[in-house]
Copies of this chain bind each other. A is one copy, B any other.
Amino acid sequence: MSGNTFGTLFRVTTFGESHGPGLGGVVDGCPSNIPLDEATIQKELDRRKPGQGYGATARKEDDRVVIQSGVFEGKTTGTPIGFSIANSDHRSADYGKIKNTFRPGHGDYTYQAKYGIRDYRGGGRSSGRETVSRVAAGAIAQEYLYTLGIKVLAYTVELGGIQATDFVPTGMLDRPFFAADPAVVPRWEQRIDEVRKQQDTLGGIVKITAQGLPPGLGEPVFDKLDARLAAAVMSVGAVKGVSLGAGFEAARLLGSENNDPLTPQGFASNNAGGILAGISSGQEIIIHAAIKPIPSIAKEQQTIDVHGKACTISIGGRHDICAIPRVVPVLKAMVCLTLADMLLIQKTRA
């Protein structure tokens, strides 16, 4: 384990920071003969970019993906798929002031402690910018899932403490915040405006689902499907909690309430979130992820400098008020990558 590779058979290895020539990655193990082109990946990258509705910054990140290898005449060849995205917007001037100060809630202090050196420009590798490579790789995984009739969705069910009605989120891709329900959008926009005026930030809850999965995915006892999904989701920067199916509510149910009865027509409920004993049951996978508020706030905060001396910091500039909606395509990508990997492993089991 070196930290920047995800997966066992369907694997992605990523690189890149907020500054420097570019970002990218290598998808290795994607089955051959899967249709793939740059436009398919680009579509997912475009969903991640800033300016996607309220709460997002005005920063320009014109992320163009280039496929470097592994695709021939519109199909994957089974060899590693290299992809790259140039860093076009270097913004060095904005970040000079944080060279000597540890920002609360950021990785400045811990990266320095871990490596004894820190690329302070824009957070370096700890910046959310690394997720561009996750989204690109996830788009490749998604193409593989499509060939099997599997569909992964991600959308926002709570923002700033305000819950959306969570029904089948038709049309959520065209909606600000990838909101589960259009009716909640004006309330979320209003809440964002309030918090912006307070120079503060907000969190929320994202739901990710997968439909069309066969039963049998997951590798007990340590690489159960829920364990893999939890790691995938929790590896995304702002996530502080993850649950399957009924989640923390399951801790308050009786066994007779929580168990999903089996019937000749299928399961009668889905408190399990599509996973039993760590193995997919064929029901819909249901995941919730808790997203913390963005730590970069304009409001003045107490902190210390690199010499350990107390000081204050106000983080201005072009920052988002909420990681949502940018984190939504990232979470979807991580679930796609996990499922692609588990599907390949299951091919070898029986």
Contact = CB atoms under 8 A, between A and B. Distances in A.
- How many of these chains are in the complex? 4
A170 to B, nearest CB: 24
A117 to B, nearest CB: 5
18 contacts: A1-B9, A5-B11, A20-B68, A23-B68, A23-B82, A24-B82, A78-B117, A110-B281, A111-B279, A160-B252, A161-B252, A202-B254, A222-B235, A223-B235, A242-B243, A243-B248, A258-B293, A262-B302
Contacts of A293: 250, 253-255, 257-258
Contacts of A280: 110
A14 interface: yes
A23 B200 CA distance: 44
**5 tightest CB-CB pairs across the interface, nearest first?**
A107-B277, A3-B219, A15-B82, A241-B243, A201-B255
A346 B68 contact: no
Contacts of A69: 15-17, 20-23, 125
Interface string A210-248: 000011111111111011111111110101111111111
Interface in A75-115: 75-82, 84, 102, 104-107, 109-111, 113-115
B203 A105 contact: no
A203 B261 contact: no
A216 B88 CA distance: 31
Interface string A251-275: 1111111111111100010001101
A251 B158 contact: yes
A291 to B, nearest CB: 6
B350 A16 contact: no
Interface in A121-162: 124-126, 130, 158, 160-161
Contacts of A318: none
Contacts of A72: 117-119, 124
A250 B224 CA distance: 27
Interface stretch (A29-37, A43-51, A172-180): A29-37
